[in-house]
């Protein structure tokens, strides 16, 4: 199964909002409400920022929000801050105890 499709890069200025899409199929995103989003900073452990499509773990800013429409999930970051500059990955359950990740999106805060 191919990786979920994310844009390679997005950018925005401080204070602005950006949205990262994650396109899948009816076998993954479209079939399960089990999409998570992760933030990766260099030399740090990946951090969960959204789970089950739109839920935020404790301690994650409400500037991060997730949604899903059909076979595509989206992550929106509002009020961009310098520290948001990182790589972002979506991940979906695909059944049979297995997972698939997106190709990753590099966010640049201008």
> Where on the chain is the footprint of other proteins (CB under 8 A)?
3, 34-36, 38, 43-48, 51, 57, 89, 91-93, 96-104
Rounded Cα distance between 76 and 101, Å, is 18
Least Å from the CB of residue 4 to other proteins: 10
Nearer to other proteins, 36 or 72 (CB): 36
Closest CB to other proteins among residues 30, 103: 103
Q: Is 17 helix (H, G, I), strand (E, B) or coil?
A: coil
β-sheet bridge partners, residue 10: 107
Smallest distance, other proteins to C-beta of residue 16, A: 25
CB 103 to other proteins: min, Å: 5
| Nearest CA among 19, 24, 108, 110 for reference residue 72 | 24
Of 35 and 107, the one with the shorter C-beta distance to other proteins is 35
From the list 37, 33, 27, the residue with the least C-alpha distance to 95 is: 27
């Amino acid at each position: 199964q191919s990786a979920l499709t994310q844009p390679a890069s997005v950018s925005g200025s401080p204070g602005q909002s950006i949205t990262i899409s994650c396109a899948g199929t009816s076998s993954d995103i479209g079939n399960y409400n089990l999409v998570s989003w992760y933030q990766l900073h260099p030399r740090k452990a990946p951090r969960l920022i959204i789970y089950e499509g739109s839920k935020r773990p404790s301690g994650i800013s409400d500037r991060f929000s997730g949604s899903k429409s059909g076979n595509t999930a989206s992550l929106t970051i509002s009020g961009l801050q310098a520290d948001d500059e990182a790589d972002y990955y979506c991940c979906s359950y695909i059944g049979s105890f297995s997972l698939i990740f997106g190709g990753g999106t590099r966010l640049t805060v201008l």
